[in-house]
């Protein structure tokens, strides 16, 4: 796309060593938690009512906290990928269209406000990585996510968060394209409808990741 060809240095490929039924090198594994912020996950968040049924259906918030604690104990990298926008929307890359338009019109995830802060149960702890620069759906473009994974020698990326069929799926596809062994925790994700969650976790997730449950992942730690 465009006139610039990607150089080999722009693409970092990793061997996909871990599989659902095979070993995972925990020291080379990162669990990425996408947008566990008050806007979605706290009762006063503007998006809470839209996702609360999906969250409750799998108890995803409680499971995600357990995964984070266990991952730290096992030596995995724990990575948080929040999103935020300037109050005037000047850093929103597509504020006139689709879900990013909704973020702009609804003044969602405004930087420096309670809404953009991490929900209490998923606040980063010492040693965790907090990704900077996420303004769109995919947690890779315009952020330091890939650099943070590379510096830790990560091969396996485990994804969970909001929204199942939006930011989680967008990030999952890019992780896969970059050559990471990509795993998605189906019951640590939530979205705005049961159909949307099912369509992603039982459909598209399997095309470019290994979808498993939190319990299946915890059993590997």
Instruction: Tokens for 214, please give them.
Output: 């939190």
Looking at the domain assignment, is residue 180 inside a domain?
no
pLDDT, tens digit, for every residue of 59-102? Answer: 999 999 999 999 999 999 999 999 999 999 999 999 999 999 99
pLDDT, tens digit, for every residue of 16-31? Answer: 444 545 678 999 999 9
Looking at the domain assignment, is residue 148 inside a domain?
yes
Using CA atoms, how far apart are residues 111 and 93, in angstroms rounded to an integer? 15
3-state DSSP helix/strand/coil % of the chain, to nearest 5: 40, 15, 40
Looking at the domain assignment, is residue 4 inside a domain?
no
Looking at the domain assignment, is residue 59 inside a domain?
yes
User: In which order are the strands placed within the sheet that holds 210-212?
Assistant: 129-130, 77-81, 29-34, 156-162, 181-190, 210-212
Looking at the domain assignment, is residue 176 inside a domain?
no
Looking at the domain assignment, is residue 203 inside a domain?
no
Cα separations in angstroms, 179 against 57, 150, 154, 202: 32, 12, 11, 22
Percent of all residues in the chain with a pLDDT value above 70, rounded to a whole number: 90
Using CA atoms, how far apart are residues 170 and 87, in angstroms rounded to an integer? 25
H-run or E-run covering 145: helix 145-151
Q: Give the pLDDT confidence score for residue 11 in this predicted structure.
A: 34
Using CA atoms, how far apart are residues 189 and 52, in angstroms rounded to an integer? 11
pLDDT at 49 over 80: yes
Q: What is the CATH number of the domain that holds 108?
A: 3.40.50.850
**Burial label, 154 (beta-carbon count in 10 A; 0-12, 13-18, 19+):** buried
Looking at the domain assignment, is residue 199 inside a domain?
no
Looking at the domain assignment, is residue 15 inside a domain?
no
Percent of all residues in the chain with a pLDDT value above 90, rounded to a whole number: 88
Domain span at 69: 33-152
Question: 3-state DSSP call for residue 167?
Answer: helix
pLDDT, tens digit, for every residue of 166-185? Answer: 999 999 999 999 999 999 99
Q: Quick one: DSSP state of residue 120? A: G
| Closest alpha carbon to 79 in 163, 147, 141, 135 | 147
- Number of domains comprising the chain: 1
Q: Tokens 């010492």 belong to which residue?
A: 126
């Amino acid at each position: 796309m465009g006139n610039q060809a990607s150089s080999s240095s722009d693409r970092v490929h990793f061997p996909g060593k871990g599989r659902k039924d095979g070993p995972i090198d925990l020291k080379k594994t990162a669990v990425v938690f996408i947008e566990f912020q008050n806007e979605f996950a706290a009762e006063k968040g503007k998006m809470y009512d839209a996702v609360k049924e999906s969250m409750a259906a799998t108890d995803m918030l409680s499971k995600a906290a357990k995964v984070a604690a266990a991952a730290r104990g096992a030596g995995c990298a724990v990575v948080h990928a929040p999103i935020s926008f300037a109050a005037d929307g000047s850093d929103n890359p597509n504020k006139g269209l689709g879900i990013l338009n909704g973020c702009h019109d609804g003044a969602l995830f405004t930087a420096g406000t309670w809404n953009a802060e991490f929900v209490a149960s998923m606040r980063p702890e010492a040693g965790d990585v907090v990704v900077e620069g996420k303004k769109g759906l995919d947690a890779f473009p315009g952020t330091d996510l890939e650099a943070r994974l590379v510096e830790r020698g990560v091969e396996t990326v485990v994804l969970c968060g909001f929204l199942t069929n939006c930011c989680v799926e967008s990030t999952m596809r890019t992780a896969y394209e970059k050559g990471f062994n990509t795993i998605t925790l189906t019951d640590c994700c939530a979205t705005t409808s049961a159909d949307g969650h099912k369509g992603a976790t039982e459909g598209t997730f399997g095309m470019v990741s290994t979808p498993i449950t939190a319990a299946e992942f915890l059993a590997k730690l």
